[in-house]
Chain A
Amino acid sequence: MSTRLATGGRLLNKSKPLNFTFNGKQMRGYEGDTLASALLANDQVLVGRSFKYHRPRGIVTSGPEEPNGLVGLGQEGRFEPNARVTTTELYEGLEAESQNHWPSLEFDVGALNKHLSRFLPAGFYYKMFMHPRPLWKHLYEPIIRHSAGLGKAPKAADADIYEHFHAFCDVLVIGGGVAGLQAALAAGLSGARVIVMEQSAHWGGRAPVDGGTVDDAPVEDWVAQTLDRLRGMENVDLRDRTMGAGVYDHGYVLGYERLRDHTPEDAGPRHRLWRVRAGHVITATGAIERPLSFAGNDVPGVMLASAMRDYVANYGVSPGDRTVLVTNNDNAYLTAIALKQAGLDVPAVLDARVLPQDSELVAKAKALGIRVVMGHAVSSVQGGKRVTGVAVCSQGGEGAVLEVIACDAIAMSGGWSPVVHLWSHCGGKLTWDGAKACFRPDQDHPPTGADGHGFVTPAGAAAGVFALDDVLHDAHAAADGVATSLGFKLPRDLTAPTAARREEAPMMPVWQMPQGASVKLREKTFLDYQNDVKVSDVRLAAQEGFVSVEHAKRYTTLGMATDQGKLSNINGLATLAGALDAEIPSVGTTTFRPPYHPISMGAIAGAARGDTFQPIRRTPLHDWHAANGAVWEPVGQWRRPYAYVQSGESTHDAVMREVTNTRQNLGLLDASTLGKLIVRGPDAARFLDMMYTNMMSTLKPGKCRYGLMCNENGFLIDDGVVARLDEQTFLCHTTTGGADSIHAHMEEWLQTEWWDWKVHVVNATEHYAQVAVVGPNARKCLEKLGGMDLSREALGFMEWTEGELGGFKVRVFRISFSGELSYEIAVEAGQGQAFWDALLIAGHDLGVMPYGTECLHILRAEKGFIMIGDETDGTVIPQDLGLNWAISKKKDDYLGKRAQQRSHMQDPSRWKLVGLETTDGSTLPDGAYALGEGENENGQKVMQGRVTSTYHSPTLDRGIAMGLVLHGPDRMGELLSFPGTDGKTYEARIVDPVFYDPKGEKQNV
């Protein structure tokens, strides 16, 4: 059984016990435990069921590479699926639940799948569930989804808060092991700004567990001293619990800091996403031990050798009473030695190698009385939910059992793979190191920055350098090179510390154990625990022609999901290479993509949630609208009142009331969102002649003109009223959505094409609150405010003036988008609310009511005025809309002129704007198409027009619409039929688009 040892546990605070639950069962651990170590201390080796076969699975590792130990953590708003037990620090009250089991972890019905495993090979789903097609959606998928899968998606809103942080440094060191610390020290002493990220809560990486001496003192002391020195340096920021998640172009790196995962009750953000711009990145990310591929290597109790000594040394946990070590290298002997020294039994070490003589560690193990069997291997593991023994065979054979050794744990080591992920994210190349049987960074081909030079340098084990002394020297040299390239200089007397050397015998690559394992054994030999991919699956994929490693990955699911194959990749591709009779480097690796390890969605979102999910633009009158029944319509990022709903009214009622009141009495519209661009300079008039289809240079100061703007392809992009403020200055109104884009459009032409024209453009949109005062009583209302003569004689239609109105400094435009007597009045934004209040008081006896955007639409549609975005969609030219009157024929040029002369633009069969009137007074569905004769070449019904705007007009008490229709203006009075999506077909007559006051008498009083 696994249990807590009486001694050991360098990371534990045994004076602080913590209570937690696993599947509802009460358990105890200590401060400093991970959830994994605490579970093992409570003899909970079985922690989950596998993805496909629901096989019992136990903890294999002690770090972020863990494939099996995934649990659901917490409840409700703090529920987190797929949390790794090895990276979850224990806290008081932690609640964990195993995943992918039904009905329980101990007894799982889905485990029947394992007996069917012969029938569930790679690609099984693809082959089996192809036909009949409809069954996939309704039968196969729901069942497979139920039986396969890991964590459940959280349902409640996340109760935590998250943030981002932008940081800049010269050198970013990722990894806080001895390599990272030495690199940080050297870089820091050179004067560079340094950030060091360590994913765990502890510094020093593996060194304190694996031991060794640096400058004649234990390596742990060196780690402590180095940390002290780094902490004393102002130019160095040490961040623990912070993982380097991804490396991107131009030295951009994402770091993932877990601030409150271990203290969830504390105030403050849970995670922080570091967005770092680094001059250079040093990846001191260490290496990950590889499992060995033998039958039953997934039975709970089989663990990586390094993880096992971590549990003993760091957490005082014994993973088993009797542990057999299986290895192909010297390093793993440290585990046998550590177990023995902790008073545990190690019945045998099965070493696949045959060494001519004992190396230092082998001799040490033997001296401790451990039986070392060379040239031997695991034939199969005995036990189901827990290891009970190991059947031993020769490595060179086919698995004939020589003896069975009873044990309750197996430590395995297949060698080490440098963590090359961050090196590779941005294009760093790898090279195969045959002696160490691993891919390591090819330092001649680093990821390159804008200057063509590499911006990532690996250090220590991440570079494929494993011996402590080599690691320290490599890290020092890496930092030296990086600092120098950035213009810093290491202190002259600074050298790398020296570590005592250990003589090690070479490792021997072992990709299959035993070497000639039978099919039967291979079918029980797991490469990828998380995705249940076996040696036999990869061989099958190769046999079926999936020879590319990327294809084999997708066919078998090797290396997918939350661990991204950190354990399985190298074994998998070695297996593939074996099946293809190819060399490992020629098979290559799959692509390493960020993040290195899953990061929370909350960290990615940062502050962008709730009120700050997205900026909402508010006019100066926003609060008044909100307090007065506004139903909002999003217009770009603005919120505009769609209508002001009074009690007892539906929204439709409110719109109808607003239209009628504005036509009969007085309406107020918040028009502040309309764009207001100041265009000024000696060449401003000439410039606007190019921007608009109309002639703007002939506009007199004091006058306004409606203008159309096209892009260079001739399509209508914006419209609005231009007022000439003085000889050199124009105020161009744009649509609400067009303010920013038209400003950019003008600047682009000025900066790229007409850079020598003397014109300035300023976006003054938000300086003003602008109110449209509309209706027969508009003038009376303004006269009550007093201060300006706004009579027909003093201020005619399409004129503007400035003055003081009711004590407010205003600019008044006499323009109308409603067909009524109408003024648009601009005041400084900070006085907008006061001015609006004054209008409401002045208009009180005149029937004043505010109106929203839907009323605005109906008013303009009754008048046949087009709306950018309704009548236009980026493919419509002004000529389509009958706006030829607004296109100057006197000008040599304007943007879009040439395009509008192209044959397609001149085509008489372009659909043209008309009014549409239903024969029964109903309202046409928006976007409906008019049916033509016959079918097109695709067998679809021919269309001859479509509805662009449609409303119920309370003024006319009937549906009115505008639409684009083939030869429309020539077909007045003809009937069209519009099938609706409601099954009904609407009949409408082609009419003039101006439904109301066609002579324009009302606006001109």
Chain B
Amino acid sequence: MSEAVTALKNARYDAGIATISEIGPLGMITIRGDLEAAFLRKVINKTVGLERPESGMCNSDGTSAVAWMSPDELLLICPHAQVAEVLSRLLAAFEDTHTLAVDVSGARAAFRIEGTHAREVLAKLAPVDLAPAKFTPGMFRRTRVGQVPAAFWLLEDGAFQVVCFRSVAQYMFDQLKVAAQPGSAVGHFSAP
């Protein structure tokens, strides 16, 4: 069986004020159900070792992540090779409940924005308050980036991960490159 490839074959841009790179392929599973249910917390914890995130947050350990998507939806991210196994464990655990888990790994593209100007590059495209005091590591936001829907979270200062639909991966990469072009630093967040 052939290996899955990402939409842009891990394209990378580092000629600008931040590094833009397509990462992946990642395993992604959409979970929908009662996020307040104790069993759901337990299943998430047992399956990937992470706490169920509070609203607007993403919990991650570098390998896997669980992000809060909506009051009844989570996004679970794991290594692509493990997605089938994680999914089957979730499905088994959810069996008698009204909880959905479905593989959406192929539906998405993921990017990293890295560097001291990462916040500024993203703030050119997303209507989100990305000031260092307002958007701290672990925060997650579903919003738009340019003209497409997307989600992102801050891994650590200077490193965002952006997720969008696979079909618009090229658009996302192109506009991130424009936003990161040389000479375009804003100096808003890094104002002394």
Chain B stretch 137-192: residues in CB contact (< 8 A) with chain A = 146-148, 165-171, 174-175, 178-179, 181-184, 186-188, 191-192
A168-B131 contact, Cβ under 8 Å, with A612-B174, A682-B98 = yes
> A746-771 toward B: CB 8 Å interface, digit per residue (1/0)?
00000000000010101011111100
Q: Is the CB of B107 within 8 A of A831?
A: no
The distance from the CB of B163 to the nearest CB of chain A, in whole angstroms, is 12
A193 to B179, CA, bound (A): 24
Complex contact A165–B167 (CB within 8 A):
no
- Which residues in B have their C-beta under 8 angstroms from that of A355? none
- Using Cβ atoms and an 8 Å threshold, which residues of chain B touch A760? 32-33, 72, 98, 100
* Binary contact readout A134-174 vs B (1 if CB under 8 angstroms, 0 otherwise): 00000000000000000000000000010111111000000
CB-CB under 8 A from B169, the residues of chain A are 618
List chain B residues, Cβ under 8 A from A606. 124
> Given that A269-B184, A831-B4 are contacting pairs, would A275 and B127 also be in contact in the complex, using a CB cutoff of 8 Å?
yes
Measured in the bound complex, the distance between the Cα atoms of B112 and A775 in whole Å is 44
A residues near B182, Cβ cutoff 8 Å: 267-268
Q: Which of B5, B33, B104, B175 contacts A833 (CB 8 A)?
A: B5
- List the B side residues contacting A834 at CB < 8 Å: 2, 5
Q: CB within 8 A of B1: which of A234, A768, A807?
A: A807
Nearest residue, chain A, Cβ from B25: A830
**A277 — which chain B residues lie within 8 A by C-beta?**
129
**B87 CB within 8 Å of chain A:** no
CB of A897 closer than 8 Å to a CB of B: no
Which of B4, B131, B175, B183 lies in contact with A266, CB distance below 8 A? B183
Give A683's nearest chain B residue, CB to CB. Answer: B98
Quick one: given A767-B103, A829-B106, are A161 and B178 in contact (CB under 8 Å)?
A: yes
- State the CA gap A833–B166 with chains docked (Å): 14
Question: A606–B124 Cα gap in the complex (Å)?
Answer: 9
Given contacts A166-B126, A275-B127, A681-B98, contact A766 B166 (CB under 8 A): yes
Indicate whether A337 reaches chain B with its CB closer than 8 angstroms: no
A808 on the B face (CB < 8 A): yes
Is B108 interfacial (CB-CB < 8 Å)? yes
A619 adjacent to chain B (CB < 8 Å): yes
Q: Does A231 contact B (CB under 8 A)?
A: yes
Residues of A within 8 A of B146 (CB): 607-608, 612, 615
Tell me whether A767 and B107 are in contact (CB under 8 A).
yes
Complex: how many Å from CA A809 to CA B147?
33
Whether the pair B181, A766 counts as a contact (CB closer than 8 A) is no
Across-interface contacts of B33 in A (CB, < 8 A): 760
Q: Which residues of A contact B183 (CB under 8 A)?
A: 266-269
B116-131: contact bitstring with A at CB < 8 Å (1 yes, 0 no)? 0000100111111111
A163 x B124 contact (CB < 8 A)? yes
B105 with A161: CB separation less than 8 A: no
Cβ-defined contact, A167 with B30, below 8 A: no
With a cutoff of 8 Å between Cβ atoms, the chain A residues found around residue B191 in the complex are: 234, 236-238
Majority SS at the chain A contact face: mixed
Given contact pairs A612-B175, A680-B100, A272 touches B186 in the complex (Cβ within 8 A): yes
Within 8 A of B (CB), among A21-55: none
Q: Is the CB of B106 within 8 A of A808?
A: no
B65 interface residue (CB < 8 Å to A): no
Q: Does B102 contact A (CB under 8 A)?
A: yes
B170/A766 in contact, CB under 8 A: no
Question: Is B7's beta carbon under 8 Å from chain A?
Answer: yes
Mostly helix, strand, loop or mixed at chain B's interface? loop
Instruction: Give every chain B residue within 8 A of A237 (Cβ-Cβ).
Output: 187-188, 191
In the complex, are the beta carbons of B167 and A766 less than 8 A apart? yes
| Residues of chain A from 332 to 378 with CB closer than 8 A to chain B in the complex | none
Given contacts A272-B186, A809-B1, contact A607 B104 (CB under 8 A): no
Shortest beta-carbon distance, A938 to chain B, in Å?
43
B5 touches A163 (CB 8 A): no
**Contact status B174-A619, CB under 8 Å:** no
Q: Does A898 contact B (CB under 8 A)?
A: no
- Chain B residues in 8 Å Cβ range of A678: 100, 102
Q: Is B136 an interface residue (CB 8 A)?
A: no
Which residues on B sit within 8 Å (CB–CB) of A165?
Answer: 120, 123-124, 186, 188
B6 CB-CB contact with A under 8 Å:
yes
Bound-complex Cα distance A238 to B192 (A): 11
Known contacts being A234-B192, A607-B178, is A762 close to B124, with CB within 8 Å?
no
Interfacial chain A residues near B106, Cβ < 8 Å:
620, 766-769, 828-831
Q: A272-B186, A758-B98, A768-B106 are in contact. Are A615 and B178 (CB under 8 A)?
A: no
Question: Which residue of A193, A234, A236, A765 contacts B107 across the interface (Cβ within 8 Å)?
Answer: A765
Chain B residues with CB below 8 A from A231, complex form: 192
A618 to B166, CA, bound (A): 8
- For the side of the interface on B, what is the size category? 35 or more
- Judge whether A620 and B7 touch: CB under 8 Å: yes
On whether the beta carbons of A607 and B179 are closer than 8 Å, the reply is: yes
By beta carbon, the residue of chain B nearest A758 is B98
Report chain B residues within 8 Å CB of A234: 191-192
Check if A269 sits within 8 Å of B165, measured CB to CB: no
Query: How near does chain B come to A521, taking the closest CB pair, in angstroms?
Result: 53
Q: Which residues of A contact B168 (CB under 8 A)?
A: 615-618
Q: Which residues of A sit under 8 angstroms from B98, Cβ to Cβ? A: 681-682, 758, 760
In the complex, are the beta carbons of A830 and B4 less than 8 A apart?
yes
How many whole Å from A673's CB to the nearest CB in chain B?
8
Q: A650 on the interface (CB 8 Å rule)?
A: no
User: Which B residues lie within 8 Å of A232 (CB)?
Assistant: 192
Chain B residues, Cβ within 8 Å of A809: 1
CB proximity to B under 8 Å, residues A610-629: 611-612, 614-620
How many angstroms from the CA of A606 to the CA of B147 in the assembled complex?
Answer: 12
CA distance A351 to B169 in the complex (A): 69
- Of chain B, the residue at the smallest CB distance from A807 is B1
- In the assembly, what is the distance between CA of A620 and CA of B168, in Å? 11
A808: which B residues are within 8 A, CB to CB?
1-2
Give Cα A760 to B31, complex, Å.
10
Chain B 18-55 interface mask (CB, 8 Å, partner A; 1/0): 00000001000010110000000000000000000000
Query: Assuming A237-B188, A681-B98, is B127 touching A830 (CB within 8 A)?
Result: no
List B contacts of A161 (CB < 8 A). 178, 181
A632 beta carbon closer than 8 Å to chain B: no
Query: A638: CB under 8 A from chain B?
Result: yes
CA distance A415 to B41 in the complex (A): 70
Q: In whole angstroms, how far apart are the Cα atoms of A767 and B120 in the complex? A: 31
Residues on B with beta carbons closer than 8 Å to the beta carbon of A164: 124-125
By a CB distance below 8 angstroms, the chain B residues around A272 are 186
Decide: B166 and A829 in contact? CB cutoff 8 A: yes
- Given A237-B191, A268-B182, A807-B2; A615-B171 close (CB under 8 Å): yes
CA distance A607 to B129 in the complex (A): 19
A236 to B98, CA, bound (A): 50
Least Cβ distance of B181 to chain A in Å? 7
Cβ 8 A contact of A766, one of B3, B30, B107, B175: B107
Contacts of B170 in A (CB 8 A): 616, 618
Q: How far is the CA of A829 from the CA of B165 in the complex (A)?
A: 11
CB distance from B33 to the nearest CB of A (A): 8
- Distance in angstroms between the alpha carbons of A238 and B72 in the assembled complex: 42
Closest residue on chain B to residue A834 by CB atoms: B2
Q: How far is the CA of A612 from the CA of B6 in the complex (A)?
A: 20
Choose among A163, A614, A682, A828 the residue that contacts B184 (Cβ–Cβ < 8 A): A163
Given A612-B174, A760-B32, A766-B167, CB of A167 within 8 Å of CB of B105? no
A767 touches B1 (CB 8 A): no
> Cβ of A681 and Cβ of B100 under 8 Å apart?
yes
How far apart are the CA atoms of A992 and B21 in the complex, in Å?
56
Contact B5 A268 (CB under 8 A): no
16 A-B pairs, CB-CB below 8 angstroms?
A: A164-B124, A165-B186, A166-B128, A166-B130, A234-B191, A267-B183, A612-B174, A620-B106, A638-B167, A760-B72, A762-B32, A762-B100, A767-B103, A828-B103, A830-B105, A834-B5
Q: A758-B98, A765-B107, A829-B7 are in contact. List 17 more A-B contacts (CB 8 A).
A: A161-B181, A163-B179, A165-B123, A166-B130, A231-B192, A267-B182, A615-B147, A616-B170, A617-B168, A618-B169, A680-B102, A760-B33, A760-B72, A760-B98, A766-B107, A808-B1, A835-B2
